[in-house]
Amino acid sequence: MDSSTIKNKKIEEFKNYIKNKKVAVLGMGISNIPLISYLAQMGVDITAFDIAEEHQLEHVIAKFSNYKFIRYSLGKNYLDNLKGFDIIFKTPKVRFDIPELQRERERGAVVTSEMELFVDLCPAEIIGITGSDGKTTTTTIVYNILKEEGYKCWLGGNIGTPLIDKVEEISEGDKVVLELSSFQLHTMKKSPNVSIITNITPNHLDVHKSMEEYVDAKKNIFRHQNNNDIVVLNHDNEITRKMAREARGKVRFFSRLNEVEEGTYIRDGVIYFREKGEEREIIKTDRILLPGLHNMENYLAAIAAVAHLVNSSSIDKVAYGFAGVEHRIEFVREINGIKFYNDSIGTSPTRTIASINAFKQKVILIAGGYDKKISYDIMGKVIAEKVKALVLLGQTAPLIEKALLDEIYISGKGADIPIIKCSSLEEAVMEAFNQAVEGDIILLSPASASFDMFKNFEERGNKFKEFVHKIRV
């Protein structure tokens, strides 16, 4: 039986299974729109649920105007109609344990997600990437290396295009690269063939009930692997290093600080890959165009995951040609010798610290945003040592200010750093510019989510770039 037959059999089995089922889709966002479309093409009985009102979703509903059998439950009390469904696809940020889902699950409903369905149906090898920091850049590096090697690749998850409505186009010999959040992983019952965890630090504690729950969700990226699968773990991060004892597949480590028995490491300015006692030279570190030690770690992780699939020349071409992902230490503009960088993806203290440390000189830092209920204490020392002026806005502004003031009290360092508080991002850009002189760097890296002022970090980053380009001198 050839691979296309096997692929089609799996998909046909799913179609036969779902065709007489009553299906609910919770959330009409980016990932679920292709899901609704895919199911609708099969003629499935679908009810789409969303907390937004109908007028806010007109552009989405219009996409499905040809499918008259799709019903909608919208607005504040949208879950009141979640009764009597056979299968419920939930959006990642809807918790699995809300009373409405618990009730339906106890009644016999299957609760799943678009991502779980895709992973189950996908015929190709899947490389999945998660972590608190660096997952988007690492995902992009993996994807680019595989493409450079000549594989037909698909990019999905939290980056690229949702893939569920493309699953029938994917072949067994392709490679699928997925960026996976803790929300997507929380209920996953199948793991990618190759998994990467870049690191684990406190994050998303506004949604997850505890750090333990957050870590446990991340583990699903390897928890359901088999003996032939691979998990790549950060040896320098205590939480991920300890996960090795729970792994079912082959463990590869990556480390910037130490040589490892299986995986990637650095020695004398060269990245090496070691497997089964054999060492292979990959690339010199000075070939990596992206700045910062955190990006060195992203390359170590990516190489550990794909070294068995590619030649070193493909890795070298990507390393020397890849300038980075939008909103990740993205150079925006230089005005009178003052350089602006957009790092709106910096939604946690650890990510912002890494971005600050990517520069050799002190920066003027714009920070603050939505409070995800995580600690900012670790920022104080870095701000005191590496920040020339601190421009703050948003809910977390007092928390970041306190971190610096505590460090001043403890060490005396940072007492001369101006702290400027702003009510808008546009005001923050202008205040930062007013603090700057020729040769300075202004860095937007909020260490916080965007939801107090913006829809997402992309919108925040784009607004930052817009305000920078509006500056006239």
Q: Read off the DSSP letter of residue 268.
A: T
Of 296, 321, 346, which marks where a domain is finished?
Answer: 321
* Residue 457 within any structural domain of the chain: yes
Does one domain contain both 312 and 347?
A: no
Does one domain contain both 104 and 122?
A: no
Does one domain contain both 182 and 298?
A: yes
pLDDT at 139 over 60: yes
CB 254 within 8 A of CB 307: no
Task: Tell me the pLDDT tens digit for each residue of 247-295.
Answer: 999 999 999 999 999 999 999 999 999 999 999 999 999 999 888 888 9
Of 61, 87, 112, which marks where a domain is finished?
Answer: 112
Does one domain contain both 344 and 356?
A: yes
Does one domain contain both 153 and 267?
A: yes
Whichever domain contains 147, its CATH number is 3.40.1190.10
Does one domain contain both 250 and 339?
A: no
Which residues neighbour 175 within 8 Å (Cβ) at sequence distance 6 or greater?
A: 124, 125, 127, 146, 151, 152, 153, 154, 309
The residue behind tokens 């590619």 is 310
Q: What is the mean pLDDT of residues 100-120?
A: 93
Tokens of 154: 């698909």
Grouping H, G, I as helix, E, B as strand and the rest as coil, residue 313 is: helix
* Residue 345 within any structural domain of the chain: yes
Around 319, how many Cα atoms within 13 Å sit in the side-chain half-sphere? 22
Mean of the per-residue pLDDT values of the chain: 92
Task: Tell me the pLDDT tens digit for each residue of 382-416.
Answer: 999 999 999 999 999 999 999 999 999 999 999 99
* Residue 354 within any structural domain of the chain: yes
Does one domain contain both 219 and 270?
A: yes
CB 24 within 8 A of CB 44: no
Does one domain contain both 339 and 314?
A: no
Give residue 3's pLDDT band: very low, low, confident or very high (50, 70, 90).
Answer: very low
Q: What is the mean pLDDT of residues 156-178?
A: 91
Number of domains the chain is built from = 3
Does one domain contain both 229 and 371?
A: no
pTM of the prediction? 0.76
* Residue 4 within any structural domain of the chain: no
The domain containing residue 242 runs over which residues?
116-321
CB 151 within 8 A of CB 174: yes
Tokens of 333: 């503009």
- What pLDDT is recorded for position 4? 46
* Residue 373 within any structural domain of the chain: yes
Of 112, 142, 162, which marks where a domain is finished?
Answer: 112
Whichever domain contains 47, its CATH number is 3.40.50.720
* Residue 459 within any structural domain of the chain: yes
Does one domain contain both 60 and 172?
A: no
Does one domain contain both 276 and 135?
A: yes
* Residue 13 within any structural domain of the chain: no
Letter for the amino acid at 59? H
CB 315 within 8 A of CB 283: yes
* Residue 15 within any structural domain of the chain: no
Does one domain contain both 315 and 361?
A: no
- What pLDDT is recorded for position 118? 95
pLDDT at 366 over 70: yes
CB 53 within 8 A of CB 27: no
Tell how strand 175-179 and strand 194-197 pair up.
Answer: unpaired
